[in-house]
Structure formats: structure tokens, C-alpha cells
Structure 1
Amino acid sequence: MTKSLFTFFIILFILSGCKSLQKTHQKDNSATAELQAELDSVQQQIDSLQLAIKDTIQTQKEVTLNTYPTKPDTISVIGVGDIMIGTNFPNEGYLPPDSGKYMLSSVAHVLRDADLTFGNQEGVILNEGGEAKSCSDPSVCYIFRSPEHLAQHYVDAGIDMMSLANNHAGDFGETGRKNTMRVLDSLGIHHAGQLAQPFTIFEHERIKYGFVAFSPNNGTQSINDLEAAKSLIHHLDTLSDIIIVSFHGGAEGKKYQHVTREREFFYGENRGNVYEFSHEMIDAGADIIFGHGPHVARAIEVYKNRFIAYSLGNFATYGRFNLRGESGLAPIAKIWITEDGSFVKGKIISAVQKGAGIPELDENHAAAQKIKELTEADFPESKILIDPEGNIRYIQDQF
């Protein structure tokens, strides 16, 4: 029997006694002050019990609310670009000092300030060994092997999801691929993009997310097979509330900052038509698209009320990357969406990589201004505006 029912029966018992006393009092005009005092005492007990029941009901309501929280009105999601926070190949001279402790510390408070945060893992997570890609001169061979202890910094910085679909995912063969997935799993970081795990589904604060990643590279889910990609999105759409897509695509370098809306090739490799791919994914049911691969920032777009970042460039790339000028910009895209995936507003938070590749916030807003410039050039029909500090909003008079 619950406490509230027990209390209810007690009150019935007291009330019945009270009524009996009242009847006796009515029949006997010689009722004494003692009987009246007894009645007053009973009434006080009733009042106390009623207060207790009210408190019990309120407590039960609070417990119910805490046990079954409502879905959030809006969801905040952060996306950043390429992350490689140190490699021990070809030697440990390419590892950051202090075991990488300060690699993400300057931006960690920003990355943690969202419901979910995404980044692209360049290279593998592996202490030693693996089947290194063939290279005649390791000193100029750009393959990346990050020791496992560095991955803890991803957790500390609030990173929740990582793409493993890129041209460095197979730098150390199957050993590297499998160990990278094992380490991320052990840290509770969701990952996608390898053929062994092209997508993942997880729940956060009563919202179910589908996360999938694509690239043009062997061993990853292909960006160039649109039918297979759409099939994956359709599948995730039956199981998820929000679908987040990552792609590694487009040509690399400062010459390739613009979205051409055409197929791009780089050193003979088909890097995909990222404009067509992104639109096809949203048409199929995707809600957010985070692009990377060119090592520079590109424009953003809102298509069918869904957010696309065509390239988030480099973010935290230590020791082996060209970070001069625009290659050193490290944009942080933060967006707010409704629970059905519709874009509400956003912000490009500007960071820049200092020294060998450590991201720090940039009060000059260079990354935001570059993305603003590229967006205005590549998408003149855009329904969004970006202000000089990186705030993104709809153009109100178009709605």
C-alpha cells in the first residue's frame, strides 16, 4: 500500500470519529469544553495530514519529472575540422610537449558548451606497430600514428563524435583501423566511416542520433556511391530523430577554397562533388552535414532548413601540417536546431592554430570573416547572413 493511500484511510478513520463526536455533541446540549477541545485537536490532525498529502504529491511530481525528462526545445551541436594532436611516426619529435596536455585546453570550454561536439580524426590511434603505408622516405611521408594516451584529451575537451572516413584512416593498415575504433569505444566517443562501422546510432537526452561518415578513400564508406549513401540515410531515418553526416571530400589547399558545385579531382583522385552529395543526403533525410578534407575553410549553406559546412579546415593539427595563412584558421561551427533537425541559428567561433598547431580563440574573427566572404561568393542566393563576429541567422524578409 502506498503512503498516500495509507494516509487517505487514516483521514477517513479520523473523519468518521469526528462525525460520531459531532452527532453526540448535537444530541447532548451539555457537551463540555473538554469535548470541544478534543474536536479542535482532531481538526488540527486533519489539517496536518492534508499538508502531508500535498507535500507527498508534489514530491511524486518532481520525481516523475526527473525520471522522465522532456526533450529539449533546441539542440546545440558543434563541428570542427581535422584533428591530429601528435604522431610518433617517423619519430617522437612530432609529439607535443607535456603529453599534449595543452593541445586543446584553450578551446575546451567552447567545445564542451554544446549538446554534441564533432571532429575528424586524421590518422590512427596506436602506440606502435601497424602496417605503415609504403613510403620511400619516412621523413617526408605524411602518415600519422597518435599514441593512445593522447585520445584522453578528446574526452577532456568534450568531443562526442569522430569521423574515421578520410585518407589517413588506413595509414597503419587494419591494425591501425581496429585499434582506433577500440580506443574510441573505450572512451565512449561515437565514431563512423570505416567499412567495418560506417554508421552508429546513439541516444542523448532522449534524442536518438544517427551518425554516418563518408570519404573517397579505400576502407571507408564511399562519398562517390550516392545510391549506397542514400540507402544508409534512409535506413538511419527509420531509426533516428536527428541524422548527422560527415564527409571528407574536395580538392586540397588554398587554390580550392570555393565550392564549385562540380566533381573535384586532386592528384588524379576523384574527391567527389560535395555540393551534389550534400544536397542528396539532405533530400534523403539528413539534418546536419559537416565537411572537411581541403585543409582550408569553405562556405556554409542552409538547404531545406538543414545546415551544411562544406569544409571546416584544420583544427588541431600538430607538427606535420602547413598552417601558414588561411591554412591555420580553425573555425568552430556551433549551430542550434529543433528536435526535427531544422536549423534555428548558428555561430562561427573563430580560432587559429598557433606554433606547431595548437588552437586558440581569435578575437579578430578571421575564420568567421573568411567563411562569410566565401559564403557570399559561392551562395549569393543564400537565405542566411553571417555578421563579422560569425553569428549566423536567417534573412528574415525571405520568410
Structure 2
Amino acid sequence: MNKSVFTFLILFIVLSGCKSLQKTSKQDSKKDLQENAQAQIDSTELKKDSIIIALQDTVKRQEEVVINIHPKKADTITVIGVGDIMIGTNFPNEGYLPPDSGKYMLSSVAHVLKDADLTFGNQEGVILNEGGEAKSCSDPSLCYIFRSPEHLAQHYVNAGIDMMSLANNHAGDFGDTGRKNTMRVLDSLGIHHAGQLAQPFSIFEKDRIKYGFVAFSPNNGTQSINDMDAAVGLVQHLDSLTDIIIVSFHGGAEGKKYQHVTREREYFYGENRGNVYEFSHAMIDAGADIIFGHGPHVARAIEVYKNRFIAYSLGNFATYGRFNLRGENGLAPIAKVWILEDGSFIKGKIISALQKGAGIPEIDVNHGASQKIKELTDADFPESKIFIDPEGNIRYIQEQF
């Protein structure tokens, strides 16, 4: 091979290799560009996804804040009512106070009382440490007036009580001093109250439901159960401002002889105790949704009128030291009511309790209170559309079949 041919071959091989390398380099560059472009696309998509997730988290947190500020209304509302409460008096002496500052007075029933959106009770007597203008009484040892020391009221909060009636025959046991101090203490504890002429009703809101609470009795210094026009006007006023109206009344004669709802005006020791049947129906006609009665110191029948619940008397509940608790006087019914947001009755339950010893309520597994209320309801309201079973459950009759 001559030298020129050899040189040509060498140049051809070199040039071919360079061309091949150039092609490979271009392919690699193109691949790199494609990979870089894809990486940028992936990075952009990742950022986009991160932004979307961040936005979703922000919206979710904002929704949670809104929900916390404006919680959703409940589909149903539960309200509990009990009767007379007087958990110890230092008048006429401290011998009528419960031991251990009364801390066990409501502990056995607290879990039941707390299991509702609202819980109501009737405050018998005043909340006052000392002093006040005691009612005139020839023999203080036989004078039934009640002055509960302020520290005992904390047990109401601990037991879940939200509302108390101050309309009864013991609201003025220690004059204006007792009335004002009772309201002051309940206010300080966040317990809504009603019935005094100085404050016949309360309006408050819970879980976006606005409640109106008003109380009546035949006694001086309280909103009168016997002034029907004024009572109707108050309920109508509350109906224009609130979603649910709860009415309490202290009325009817006292004792075992007066367990029945007569549908007539009742008198006791010459005092006009009102026609509780007529009054309750008039209150519902005016816009009331639930009515809790007390005063007779014994349980009475229940009724559902125009789809609204009425308990004509819830008797004694936690009355320490100075009350007659023998037999039926010791029954302590707890009325629990389920209603819709418009106040319509869905169902109820009479949870039976019994006052033990000097007056400490405990759950009664024998259902004595519910059986008594069933007996009275069957007798006094034979036309009733509700049924009470042996365990105290209350339902419309048509739901039983």
C-alpha cells in the first residue's frame, strides 16, 4: 500500500469516528435536554401539587375556624328538668347543713343531670351566708325558711345545672337581701335564673340556639301565675326573640292529697295557687315549648299538648334536712325531653331517683317515680296520645306499634 492510500484510510477512520462521536454527543445532548425539560415539568407539577395541598389545608383550617365560631345547630335538643332543690340551710342553726360541705348531695345523679343540652331546677329558699330579713315566725325551730350558704351553690355547677327558677314561696324567706344575693351568686356562677319581679325572664344562647326562660308563682315578689294576661305577654315577647321557650311554674296545692291535676283553680291554706292546667295550655298557645311545674312537693302527671311537653309537678329533688320525704314525698323524678329545633316534642324519659337519708337523691333502679307518673298520667289524661313504659320512656302511642 502506498503512503497516500494509507494516509487516506487513516483520515477516513478518524473522520468517521469523529462523526460518530458527534452524533452520539448530539443524541446525548438531546436526551439530556429532554431529561432536563421533564425534570422541570416534574418540578413544576410538584410545586403545583404542593400549592394546591397548601391551599386545601388553608381552606380546611378556615372552615374549622368558622365552625368553631359558629357551630352547627343540633338536629335535636335535650332538656332536663327536676323539682325542688334546697341542699342545706344554716337557719335556724347549722345542724341542718349536710356533712362535708354538701359535696355528696348531687354526686350520685350528676352524670344524669349533665347528659343534656340544658338542665333546670327550682331553687327553694335563698343563697345567703348570713343576715337578711327573716320571715316573721313565732317559733324559729318550727319555721320553715331556708338560707343556703353560698359555697353550696358551686355544687349546682358541678352537677350540670344551667337554669333555676326563683319563683316560689321561699324566694323571699330573707327579704330583699336574700333575693338580691341569690341572683348575684347565680349570676357569678353562670346559672340562668328567672321569676323574680326584678328579673322575670332570661334570654341566652347555646350552640347557636337562642333560649328564653321565664318562671311564675302565686307569691309576692315573683312573676304571678295568676296574672294570665301578663304571663301571656311575657311568653309572646320571648317568642319574638328566641328559638326555644322554657316555662317554669310553682303552683297547685301541696301534699299526697293533691297529686292529681284537677283542671280547676287550686287553693292551699287560703292561698290562690292557680289553675295549672289552664295556665300551661295558655303558655303553649302563646309560644312556650317546654313547661316544668313544681310546688306540690309530690310528682304529678305529664302531658303533651300541641306537640309540647308539660310536667305538672316534678316534686322534691334534693331537699336536705327540713322536708318530709316519707313515701311518695321522697320520689325525685328527672324529666328528660328530646325536642326539635322548633320545640316539637320527639320523645322523653322519666329517670327515677329517690331521696335517701336526710334528702340525698340517688338513682332508683325500681323506677318508682316513673311508675307513679305513669299511674297519674293514665288517670288524669286518659285522652293522652303518649305512652310511658315501665322504665319511664315516653313516646307517642302510634310509635308503639
TM-score, normalized by the shorter chain, greater than 0.5: yes
Aligned length in residues:
372
Give the drift of 1:33.
3.5
Distance 1:136 1:52, change over 3 A: same
Distance 1:31 1:235, change over 3 A: same
Write the distance in 2 (CA, Å) between the matches of 1:380 and 1:361. Answer: 29
Give the drift of 1:70.
1.3
Equivalent of residue 89 in structure 1, options 70, 88, 91: 91
Answering whether residue 386 of structure 2 is matched by residue 389 of structure 1, we say no
Contact 1:383 1:398 in 2 (8 A): no
Equivalent of residue 292 in structure 2, options 276, 290, 293: 290
What CA RMSD, in Å, does the superposition of the two structures yield over aligned residues? 1.6
Equivalent of residue 107 in structure 1, options 77, 85, 109: 109
Write the distance in 1 (CA, Å) between the matches of 2:280 and 2:336. Answer: 18
Give the drift of 1:47.
2.9
Give the drift of 1:177.
0.7
Q: Which residue of 1 aligns with 2:13?
A: none
Q: Which residue of 2 aligns with 1:344?
A: 346
Write the distance in 2 (CA, Å) between the matches of 1:189 and 1:236. Answer: 19
Distance 1:31 1:392, change over 3 A: same
Q: Which residue of 2 aligns with 1:34?
A: 36
Q: Which residue of 2 aligns with 1:266?
A: 268
Q: Which residue of 2 aligns with 1:359?
A: 361
1:56-71 equivalence runs, <5 A: 56-71=58-73
Distance 1:64 1:137, change over 3 A: same
Give the drift of 1:73.
0.5
Q: Which residue of 2 aligns with 1:226?
A: 228
**What SS class does the counterpart of residue 369 from structure 1 fall into?**
helix
Report percent identity of matched pairs. Answer: 84
Give the drift of 1:395.
1.1
Distance 1:29 1:369, change over 3 A: closer
Contact 2:70 2:208 in 1 (8 A): no
1:47-62 equivalence runs, <5 A: 47-62=49-64
Contact 1:278 1:289 in 2 (8 A): yes
1:168-183 equivalence runs, <5 A: 168-183=170-185
Write the distance in 2 (CA, Å) between the matches of 1:138 and 1:40. Answer: 91
TM-score computed with the length of structure 1 as normaliser: 0.91
**What SS class does the counterpart of residue 231 from structure 1 fall into?**
helix
Give the letter for the 1:284 counterpart: A
Give the drift of 1:104.
0.5
Write the distance in 2 (CA, Å) between the matches of 1:309 and 1:342. Answer: 15
1:309-388 equivalence runs, <5 A: 309-388=311-390
Give the letter for the 1:268 counterpart: G
Write the distance in 1 (CA, Å) between the matches of 2:91 and 2:35. Answer: 97
Write the distance in 1 (CA, Å) between the matches of 2:45 and 2:281. Answer: 72
Q: Which residue of 2 aligns with 1:18?
A: none
Distance 1:289 1:392, change over 3 A: same
Structure 2 unpaired stretches of 5+: 1-29
Write the distance in 2 (CA, Å) between the matches of 1:298 and 1:98. Answer: 33
Give the letter for the 2:223 counterpart: Q
Q: Which residue of 2 aligns with 1:19?
A: none
Contact 2:105 2:318 in 1 (8 A): yes
TM-score computed with the length of structure 2 as normaliser: 0.90
